[in-house]
């Protein structure tokens, strides 16, 4: 069966991941990383790609790139040149990468910031460094030190965020990247129709680009709910109010988690339980003004925790 054509839009930003075959190491030492960077720099000079961020781990590499309409051919050249040199150094032959490279179209500046955070924090989440800026094979350190300016073009920085908020972003993108069904950039926007126009506008933070990315990570949602459970009076007009239903609904609609992921995170027995919780959440959202105010409080608390993004 022929392969489906890869999405490629000139000027669009993509999260690209390349993994070693059979989980073997692709980058054994600094010399390997340096040569792959040289391949990226050549692609930049050829006008094929703009490189916004990178993170090299032993078994794979994460890249944030802006395509110039030659995404596939650019990485064919990059990975081909790297594999040939890798094999010559080790007197081996055969494939090095696992199939085609993986790419996801990034729509909206907030989504781009989330993915950038994931790329920067990936070595930290993997236990390879204590901070992103302390990881020698990541672009975060290169930017701090002013290196690779001739080919590395960091994406525009967003508002300052705390380390915990950055970590929450990274964990959210990690969950979605590992999902069998990565999020469509505009999925779940229709689910917000139950909200009054004024509240919906506030939830979208007066930024239309937020329609193309989840508003917050799961850690931020859960932390905000834990705080409110201690101090918040429960909505009087919602029979059988459940914090679990509220948490499930927000994790689905505002963090983009699947029913399976919600069930696992909340310790529910099955995905059907997640669906029932989300159904009760939507019903309460539609019927109760006080419940809608509670949702808004959670969103604003979560946004404050991620630095107001």
pLDDT score recorded for residue 159 = 45
- 147-188 pLDDT, tens digit per residue, is 888 899 865 544 444 455 555 555 555 555 555 444 433 333
Q: What is the mean pLDDT of residues 40-62?
A: 94
Q: Give 127 or 63, the one with higher predicted confidence.
A: 63
pLDDT score recorded for residue 96 = 92
pLDDT score recorded for residue 86 = 94
> What does the alpha-carbon distance between residue 225 and residue 302 come to, in Å, rounded to a whole number?
9
CATH 3.30.70.1290 boundaries in the chain: 13-158
- 201-247 pLDDT, tens digit per residue, is 444 333 333 333 455 678 888 888 888 888 777 777 777 788 899 99
| Averaged confidence pLDDT in the chain | 78
Extract the tokens encoding 96: 């090095």
How large a percentage of the chain has pLDDT more than 90?
25
**CATH number attached to the domain at 13-158:** 3.30.70.1290
pLDDT score recorded for residue 192 = 37
CB-count exposure of residue 285 (10 Å: 0-12, 13-18, 19+): buried
Q: Are 295 and 250 in contact (CB under 8 A)?
A: yes
């Amino acid at each position: 069966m022929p392969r489906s054509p890869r999405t490629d839009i000139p000027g669009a930003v993509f999260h690209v991941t390349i993994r070693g075959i059979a989980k073997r190491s692709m980058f054994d030492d600094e010399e390997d990383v340096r040569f792959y960077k040289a391949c990226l720099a050549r692609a930049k000079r050829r006008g094929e790609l703009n490189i916004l961020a990178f993170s090299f781990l032993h078994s794979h590499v994460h890249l944030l790139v802006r395509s110039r309409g030659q995404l596939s051919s650019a990485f064919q050249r990059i990975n081909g040149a790297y594999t040939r040199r890798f094999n010559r150094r080790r007197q081996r032959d055969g494939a090095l990468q696992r199939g085609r490279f993986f790419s996801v179209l990034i729509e909206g500046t907030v989504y781009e910031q989330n993915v950038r955070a994931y790329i920067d924090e990936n070595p930290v989440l993997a236990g390879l460094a204590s901070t992103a800026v302390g990881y020698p094979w990541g672009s975060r350190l290169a930017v701090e030190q002013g290196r690779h300016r001739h080919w590395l073009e960091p994406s525009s920085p967003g508002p300052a965020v705390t380390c915990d908020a950055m970590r929450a972003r990274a964990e959210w993108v990690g969950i979605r990247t590992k999902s069998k069904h990565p999020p469509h950039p505009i999925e779940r926007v229709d689910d917000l129709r139950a909200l009054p126009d004024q509240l919906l506008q506030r939830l979208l933070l007066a930024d239309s680009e937020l329609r193309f990315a989840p508003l917050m990570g799961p850690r931020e949602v859960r932390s905000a709910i834990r705080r409110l459970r201690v101090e918040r009076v429960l909505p009087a007009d919602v029979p059988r109010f459940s914090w679990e239903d509220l948490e499930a609904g927000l994790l689905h609609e505002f963090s983009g988690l699947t029913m399976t992921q919600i069930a696992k995170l909340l310790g529910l027995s099955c995905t059907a339980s997640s669906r029932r919780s989300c159904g009760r959440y939507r019903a309460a959202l539609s019927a109760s003004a006080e419940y809608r105010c509670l949702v808004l409080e959670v969103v604003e608390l979560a946004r404050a925790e991620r630095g107001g993004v």
